[in-house]
Amino acid sequence: MKTAGIVRKVDDLGRIVLPAEMRRLLELDRSDVEIFLDGNRICLRKYSPNCIFCGAQEALTQLAGKSVCADCIKKLWERK
């Protein structure tokens, strides 16, 4: 992992400002960001929904608040 060497203060509400250059590079403006822990690191990545079964990012449908791809929907219908 590259270290950018940018230090930002966390404000009283837990907010930080992501550097504009990084937001622009990853096209993050007005995007959702996924936040998770990796050991003692706080990781951010641009959120893109995945199929809950296979991880595909194309042809997604929302079912009960979860994303499911067309292939998995087809496989579910074919199950007996």
Question: Under the criterion CB under 5 A, does residue 53 sit at the interface with Zn ion?
Answer: yes
Choosing from 54, 59, 63, 76, the residue that interacts with Zn ion (CB under 5 A) is 54
Nearer to Zn ion, 44 or 56 (CB): 56
How far, in Å, CA of 38 to CA of 62, rounded?
A: 28
Pairing of strands 33-38, 66-69: unpaired
How far, in Å, CA of 74 to CA of 60, rounded?
A: 12
Question: Under the criterion CB under 5 A, does residue 69 sit at the interface with Zn ion?
Answer: yes
Contact residues toward Zn ion (CB under 5 A) are: 51, 53-54, 56, 69, 72
